[in-house]
Homo-oligomer: A and B are copies of this chain.
Amino acid sequence: MQRPRALSEVSWDQLQAMSLAEKALSFQKNGRLFHVLIAQQFDRRQLEELGATATRVRQIAKSKAGMDFLRAQLSHKTAMLYFTQPSSRTFLSFHSACQMLGMKTVEVRDTATSSEVKGETQEDSVRTFSSFSDVIVMRSAVGGLAEKMAWVLSNAERPVPIVNAGSGKDQHPTQALLDIYTLQRSFERRGGIDRKTIVFVGDLLRGRTVRSLSQLLTKFEGVKQYFIAPEPLQIGKDILDLLRASGSDFEVGADFEKVMPEADAIYMTRIQDEWDEQKGDSRKIDISRFSLAAEHLKRLKPHAVILHPLPRRQEIAVEVDHDPRAVYWRQVRNGMWIRVALLTFIFDCADSIREFHGA
């Protein structure tokens, strides 16, 4: 293999032609995590280190002394939260993560009110915004925008890392990281994620969460994946091809009740009807058998866990919330911890976190 090429050394077309492994290297800087753009850029070792750091941060944050220590880490840095696609949940999670490390934050929410109106290109806008920050956390409805911007800025006088907080239909890497972290925590005392059975349920076609997580699970050993969905919302063939190529074990089906007793983790998702080609298309699909009700709980393993990226509709009954196996509320907090961990890697203070003894 050739020397890894930096983003600033390649053309946009060359970047698109790179293999995942090459891309992952080009997102680094001086051998360290820089841009966070796609879930698959993380290898297993990095996933383990991120999880360990997140857990360490979680413990440190329990005391005021620990919080004050954390807030001193990046008190000299500013994060730009560029969220042109609305999302309170992801926004709040990143915002909290930044604040926990003492970072200042500044928000751009509505590009319509900004200089784009005055005829500026998006490249110029983002480059301007980068002048006022040390990292840009970017969420956009435009697929690939985060990657494009990382590439554009790589030639600027003052390049800053870009963290993809969801772009287009495909990528939402930090959601995948928080899901992995939730599984890591859930299986902490039972051998980790290796050899576990994960059941995905719901709208698997359009949930970018499932697509990313499913690929990351191939980095663990012997994981079995079930995809349980109504036919028109079943997971994409591209993902199944990737699983096959990596030699992963999986099954595609529609009988949720049957696989319940096998699951170590059940990953529920809602119908993403905001992507319907014709408004109302989804309503024609029978989704009644893809929900988790209180009476199903007795069919689950005693240590199984129930995840959901939230927001939910009716696919998980509210009564399920009280079951100790329901971890989706904890999953929300995990998102914050893993994002803190990510920032400590980007800004190279993970070691300092690891060595903290005050808590």
A positions within 8 Å CB-CB of B: 64, 67-68, 71, 75-76, 78, 86-89, 92-93, 95-96, 99, 104, 106, 108, 113-115, 118-120, 124-125, 127-129, 131-132, 155-158, 270, 274, 310-313, 322, 329-330, 332-333, 336
A interface secondary structure, majority: helix
A120-B313 in contact given A157-B330, A332-B128 (Cβ < 8 Å): yes
Contact in complex: A78, B104 (CB < 8 Å): no
Report whether B313 and A119 are in contact in the complex, using a CB–CB cutoff of 8 Å.
yes
A88-B115, A119-B313, A120-B312 given; A95·B132 CB < 8 A: yes
Contact B125 A157 (CB under 8 A): no
Q: Is the pair A92, B132 in contact by a Cβ cutoff of 8 Å? A: yes
Which B residues are CB-close (under 8 A) to A104? 99
CA distance A158 to B128 in the complex (A): 36
Determine which residue in A78, A104, A132 has the highest number of CB atoms from chain B within 10 A of its CB, and name it. Answer: A132
Partner of A129, one of B88, B131, B155, B270: B88
Provide the bound-state CA to CA distance between A158 and B127, in Å.
40
Interchain CB contact (< 8 A) of A157 among B157, B313, B329: B329
What 10 A-B pairs have minimum CB-CB distances, sorted nearest first? A120-B311, A67-B76, A88-B114, A86-B113, A115-B311, A131-B332, A119-B313, A99-B104, A92-B132, A96-B132
- Complex CA–CA separation, A312 to B127 (angstroms): 12
Kindly state the separation between the CA atoms of A129 and B93 in the bound complex, as whole angstroms. 9
Contact present for A132 and B336 (CB under 8 Å) = yes
Which residues on the B side are within 8 Å of A106 (C-beta)? Answer: 92, 95-96, 99
Q: Please determine whether B108 and A88 come into contact, CB atoms closer than 8 angstroms.
A: yes
